[in-house]
Amino acid sequence: MEHIKDYKLFKESLDTELLTEKYSSDILRQFAAQDGGSRWRGGIAKDMQKFANLALDKISDADFTTTTPEAYWKGGDAKNPNKVGFFVDADPGFIKWAKANKKYLPGGLSIGNISKYGVVLSVIRGGIGMYHGFAMDRGSSYSRHRKGTEERYGILAKDYDTNSVYNGWEGRPAAKVTRKNLIDAATRVYVLDLDSLRDKYDVSGLKSDRANSKAGATALKTAKEIKQENQKRYTAILQDKAAMTDIDKAVRDSIELLNTHISDALDKGEMDQFGNFVIGKSPRGRSVSIKDGAGAIRNMLDDYQRYKDYERQDKEAKAEGREDNYYAREVKAYAKRLQDFSKKVKDKNYGW
């Protein structure tokens, strides 16, 4: 019996992000069921748990307040980044019509999860329709990680979803997330106060306890799992170390060095068999071309742009009292990537 108990503990500890899929709140359960997995990436519930460190199974229907779309925008909720508003269309006429036309509902939506509280049109925080990852902005204009306009929660973010849900309905709203459109299309707003929820359902301590409890299940892990766990710890140490270095200088020096490599190659005029100007050889003996140098500059600047964007968002999160947040972890991860890339530039190890 002791082995069964340890196995259950070990199995439970594997999922430290979303503590449970069971919800006390029927409202949150129905909204989470609408995300359709791939349509909203990891899902609104999981993203909220990661962002706010909340025990989702503790949130109840009583934690939601309801208001009208007009009152939401006129009141203080729209300006507060810790107030999350679920804008829904719960028009009885539309729900009745949807039951008769359920074959048009896109993946993730069903009569069961929209008939009670309505279909989620958008999820607003701080007056902004949030992007996947609980983000209030799309990311840097120059970053390859910049989110598209459709990468938002709710059906109004995509033409296909909006057209599918309202296929044939006379009052079909436009597929755009704007204040006017939400006032016109939504019938109700369900609001969650993250500050209030953190006071009642914060799980930072529980996550720490679970992390400590993993040691009791170590005997059941395979050599491969132990190796992977140690590799994660090693990577985390390197990321912490990289975050303490001067990343700005490393990037600046690397870009200057790459430009020098390209300039020298142009002056030398040597070409490979494909007609590309040659910078030199990588440590593995592969030819490195000017095209590789230009690609390295572009990739490094993209990563650097993302690094600075996460750094900015991390400062904002810490100003709100959230020390251990998603952005802080991404800052460290990108610092390590940029540091590793700067070493490759010095060795001319950036060719394909």
Amino acid at 331: V
**Closest of 189, 234, 164 to residue 73, by C-alpha:** 189
Question: What pLDDT score does 140 carry?
Answer: 65
Question: What pLDDT score does 161 carry?
Answer: 87
- Rounded to the nearest angstrom, the gap between the alpha carbon of residue 179 and the centroid of all alpha carbons in its chain is 23
Encoding tokens for residue 193? 């106060």
Question: What pLDDT score does 236 carry?
Answer: 66
Question: What pLDDT score does 297 carry?
Answer: 93
Question: What pLDDT score does 204 carry?
Answer: 62
Strands 83-89 and 188-193: antiparallel
- The mean pLDDT value for 25-51 works out to 78
Residue 24 pLDDT greater than 70, yes or no: yes
- Distance between CA atoms of residues 128 and 28, nearest Å: 20
Question: What pLDDT score does 254 carry?
Answer: 92
Mean model confidence pLDDT for the chain: 81
Question: What DSSP state is assigned to residue 154?
Answer: S
Question: What pLDDT score does 238 carry?
Answer: 59
Q: Which helix (H) or strand (E) holds 35?
A: none
- The mean pLDDT value for 63-85 works out to 93
Full-model pTM? 0.54
- Distance between CA atoms of residues 28 and 26, nearest Å: 6
Question: What pLDDT score does 175 carry?
Answer: 92
Residue with tokens 């990289």: 242
Question: What pLDDT score does 4 carry?
Answer: 43
Residue 325 φ then ψ, to 5°: -130, 170
- The mean pLDDT value for 71-87 works out to 92
CB 153 within 8 A of CB 159: no
Question: What DSSP state is assigned to residue 157?
Answer: G
Residue 221 pLDDT greater than 70, yes or no: no
Comparing 304 with 236, which gets the higher pLDDT? 304
Tens digit of each residue's pLDDT (9 = 90 or more) over 116-136: 999 999 999 999 999 888 888
Residue 215 pLDDT greater than 60, yes or no: no
For 209-230, give the secondary structure using H, E and C: HHHHHHHHHHHHCCHHHHHHHH
**Which range (19-23, 183-187, 280-284, 347-351) has the least confidence?**
19-23
| Burial class of residue 284, CB neighbours in 10 A (0-12, 13-18, 19+) | exposed
Residue 44 pLDDT greater than 70, yes or no: yes
Question: What pLDDT score does 84 carry?
Answer: 96
**Which range (136-145, 167-176, 326-335) has the least confidence?**
136-145
Transcribe 57-113 into DSSP letters: GG--GGG-EEE-HHHHHHSSGGG-TTEEEEEEE--HHHHHHHHHTGGGPPTT--HHH
- Distance between CA atoms of residues 172 and 330, nearest Å: 39
Question: What pLDDT score does 133 carry?
Answer: 85
Question: What pLDDT score does 8 carry?
Answer: 42
Question: What pLDDT score does 284 carry?
Answer: 86
**Which range (42-56, 99-113, 192-206, 227-241) has the least confidence?**
227-241
- Distance between CA atoms of residues 166 and 13, nearest Å: 42
Could you tell me the pLDDT band of residue 205, with boundaries at 50, 70 and 90? low
- The mean pLDDT value for 55-76 works out to 92
Could you tell me the pLDDT band of residue 217, with boundaries at 50, 70 and 90? very low
- The mean pLDDT value for 224-228 works out to 64
Question: What DSSP state is assigned to residue 37?
Answer: T
Q: Is 123 helix (H, G, I), strand (E, B) or coil?
A: strand
Question: What pLDDT score does 76 carry?
Answer: 86
Measure Cα distances from 301 to 92, 102, 254, 316 in Å: 51, 47, 10, 23
Residue 213 pLDDT greater than 60, yes or no: no
Question: What pLDDT score does 90 carry?
Answer: 94
Residues of the chain by 3-state class (helix, strand, coil), percent to 5 = 55, 10, 35
Question: What pLDDT score does 156 carry?
Answer: 93
Residue 277 pLDDT greater than 70, yes or no: yes
Count of beta carbons in the 10 Å neighbourhood of residue 65: 14
